[in-house]
Chain A
């Protein structure tokens, strides 16, 4: 039986004095073994909150609704949202889900060597494998492991956090903006690494604002806008012709395409409209758009009353 993560109607709210932040609203998607799903969107749209919700790492002022069923091999399914912290800490984090954090160099403890940190992860997760072997699989030489974080280049630091994320042999890797601040060759190397993990039979949930990085590895692309997943499609179909006007606008803003920004600005997550959140920036809007478009739960879907039509060979 293949392992999978199925997220259904996931919502996250943060309660601030005088305001409620709608960080994630009614999100549904699935990731299976051997696949990479990229969750793309601009900064502040709720992508990282999604990762933290799945790992049970949200702060105390957050309320979470919905479900996220984690099915690992023959083990009984586990709802990550309802599971108590003890279960998440002992059986999920590091063991079934590994997190590749944002800005790897900053994530490592500066006063300890990469080896000390990898050995600690292996010991805590009860993995008897030698650190050198795991590091070699991530593309690191034993001598490089003995360096302190400030002695590592960006690419090496990336491989160290990859190795630590794999220390407990998780089948699902959540990579939260793993490439922000890296230059193109390092982005390419990181993406190749993530693809290899998926091809090895793991699953990868890649959270990124970088469409070109997503294009390199993803099997499916989910686009988030103002806390909602507005479009989900196979990668090839998406890049050939995105159906949601926001997704089309994002692609058209790439320097390799039109290099034209989407007019207007995204709404505040504390003050979302009742209807489609993209309405004020959309040139296809009609009266129908004041009602929230249904996204449905099909593997390929678009939450829009007037999606773009493309003649794509399926």
Chain B
């Protein structure tokens, strides 16, 4: 269980989260909905250990998180992966798609062999893998970001408006791929979206709950 209790976050004087609770169970897709500006993305960053909350408690499979970002232990940090809304802002523009997908392996000192397999699975050809972000479409870049997120086989995957920029077919493809990963590994998925139809379709098969923020 990835569990947040009483999370409070303020940016300067503006408080965006006030005592927010959320639990992401392994094996199911948990939905998170709410209007733009309600703090969904802030909560996602807290859950991915990328933002230290001002108050509240975060536990990953029972282990309480005390350190955040690069200070968090590698074991905790790699247990949660985050996929961002805008792939272009989430990658280093100097790297090729192959390097982007293999980043987690380099960061943890592991051989990057599975990267190619993951990429192929996501519909990225070897010809695409040598290109840099400005030479590919949003959809192709987001595929590389999904490969990067799944690289270290995380227990929890947080998808923050992952498909808002994408066409219907690419959206269906990426979500089908994440569903296959969930069934295969029993990982917990947090699906953040304001698209109600998508949310229903995504959470239904696993019978996961939907949390609404306001």
Contact = CB atoms under 8 A, between A and B. Distances in A.
Do A and B belong to a common assembly? yes
Contact of A255 (B85, B86, B128, B195): B195
Nearest to A40: B167
Contacts of A182: 36
B90 to A, nearest CB: 13
Interface residues of B, number: 34
Contacts of A153: 36-37
Contact of B139 (A42, A154, A184, A264): A42
A268 B127 contact: yes
Nearest to A258: B172
Interface stretch (B50-58, B68-76, B91-99, B197-205): B197-205
Interface string B160-201: 000011111111110110000000000000000011111011
A261 B194 CA distance: 21
A48 to B, nearest CB: 10
Contact of B169 (A181, A185, A250): A250
B138 interface: yes
Contacts, number: 79
A120 B125 CA distance: 47
Contacts of A86: none
Interface in A226-276: 249-251, 253-256, 259-262, 264-265, 268
A131 B37 CA distance: 28
Interface string A266-309: 00100000000000000000000000000000000000000000
A43 B170 CA distance: 9
B137 A262 contact: no
A42 B167 contact: yes
A262 B176 CA distance: 12
A189 B128 CA distance: 37
A109 interface: no
Interface size class of A (residues with CB under 8 A): 20 to 34
A181 B85 contact: yes
Contact of B123 (A41, A154, A251, A265): A265
A262 B198 CA distance: 17
B196 A184 contact: yes
A44 interface: yes
A226 to B, nearest CB: 12
Interface of A: 41-44, 153-154, 180-186, 209, 211, 249-251, 253-256, 259-262, 264-265, 268
Given A154-B36, A250-B167, A253-B168, 20 more contacts: A42-B139, A42-B167, A42-B169, A43-B165, A44-B138, A44-B140, A153-B37, A180-B165, A181-B85, A181-B165, A184-B196, A186-B36, A211-B168, A249-B169, A250-B169, A253-B169, A255-B197, A259-B175, A265-B125, A268-B127
25 contacts: A42-B137, A42-B169, A43-B139, A44-B138, A44-B140, A181-B165, A209-B165, A209-B167, A209-B168, A249-B169, A251-B168, A253-B167, A253-B168, A253-B172, A254-B197, A255-B172, A255-B195, A255-B197, A255-B201, A256-B197, A259-B175, A261-B170, A261-B172, A261-B173, A264-B123
Which 10 A-B residue pairings sit nearest by Cβ, starting from the closest? A44-B137, A261-B173, A42-B167, A253-B168, A261-B172, A183-B194, A255-B201, A43-B137, A253-B169, A209-B167
